[in-house]
Amino acid sequence: MTSPTVLVTGAAGRVAGQLLAGLDDVRLRLLDRRRPEEPSGAQVLVGELTDRDLLARAVDGVDAVVHLAGEPNPDADWADLEAPNVDGFVALLGAAQEHGVRRVVYASSVHAMGRYEAEGRYPIDPTWAPAPCCPYGATKAFDEAIAGVFAHRHGVSTIGLRLGATEPEPFAARQLPGWLGPADLRQLVLRAIEADVRTGMYSAVSANSGGRWSLGTARADLGYQPVLDSADWADRVEDDGAGLTTCRHP
C-alpha cells in the first residue's frame, strides 16, 4: 500500500518540531515562511499561505494537510492575528477544495473554549458552543466555523484539534490541566488523518489527572488512546499560581 502524502504547514514551528519525528509512515511535504529542518525525503516549500501560486503547488497531489501555521501567542492583538490565523486558513481551505485534498487536520486551541475553564465548568465538552477567552481564541473559533462550512458546502473533510499546552514536558503549573505531550500529539494527528469521520472538533490534551478537557469524543471517533499524564511532572513544575491553561486576564 502506498504511503499517503501529507502537507504540514508551519513546519518550522514548535509544535511541528514535536510532531514530525512521529510521521515516519507518510511522505512529507513541508511549508513554512522560513525553511524548516528537512526530514529525509521531505519536500520543502518556503513562503506565505496567502501566496495562491505557492499554495496550489503545496496542496497539489497531497492526500491530507496538517495545518499548524499561524500566530500562536494568546496575548496577541487582532491586528497581528487576522492574516496568519484567519486569512491564511481560508486560503488553505480554498486550495484544498480546488485540488481535491481528502482531509484537512488543523490546529485549533483550547482557547476557543477558554471561558468555560475560567468559569470552572468541567469537564469541558468539545461539542459545546465555542466560548473564546481572547482574540486568539476567537480566531480559532472562526477557523472551526469556516472549516465546518467547507465540510458542509464543499465536501472537504476537516478535523479540528483543540491543542492544549503542547510541550515536550510541562514547565508551569498552569500547563498541567491542558498539557499535550509529544507521543500523544503524534498519535492524535495520525488518528485524525486516518479516521472515518467527515468533520469534527476534538479536545487535544493528554490523559491528565483532573480531567478538565473531555476526551470522550476523541476516543470514540478517532480512536485516540493517550498514554501521558501531566501528574508525572506535577512536583517538578513552577507553581505560577495561575490555575488556568487558557486566558488568565479578567
Closest CA to 249 of 22, 74, 46, 41: 74
Domain membership of residue 148 (yes or no) is yes
**Domain containing 159 — which CATH number?**
3.40.50.720
Domain membership of residue 244 (yes or no) is no
DSSP structure class, residue 35: P
Q: Is 143 exposed, middle or buried (0-12, 13-18, 19+ CB in 10 A)?
A: buried
Domain membership of residue 114 (yes or no) is yes
Residue 248 has what pLDDT? 64
Q: Is 44 exposed, middle or buried (0-12, 13-18, 19+ CB in 10 A)?
A: middle
Domain membership of residue 31 (yes or no) is yes
Residue 22 has what pLDDT? 81
Domain membership of residue 246 (yes or no) is no
Q: Is the pTM of this model over 0.85?
A: yes
Residue 1 has what pLDDT? 59
Residue 34 has what pLDDT? 92
Which three three-digit cell numbers place residue 182?
509529544
Domain membership of residue 20 (yes or no) is yes
Instruction: Report how many helices (DSSP H) and strands (DSSP E) the chain contains, helices first.
Output: 8, 9
Domain membership of residue 239 (yes or no) is no
Q: Is 215 exposed, middle or buried (0-12, 13-18, 19+ CB in 10 A)?
A: buried
Which three three-digit cell numbers place residue 131?
466560548
Total domains in the chain come to 1
Domain membership of residue 238 (yes or no) is no
Q: Which domain covers residue 153, as residue numbers? A: 5-233
Q: Please list the pLDDT of the chain residue by residue as tens digits (250 residues).
A: 578 999 999 999 999 999 998 888 899 999 999 998 777 788 999 999 999 999 999 999 999 999 999 999 999 999 999 999 999 999 999 999 999 999 999 999 999 999 999 999 999 999 999 999 999 999 999 999 999 999 999 999 999 999 999 999 999 999 999 999 999 999 999 999 999 999 999 999 999 999 999 999 999 999 999 999 999 999 999 877 667 888 765 4
Angle at 191 between CA 87 and CA 207, to 5 degrees: 95
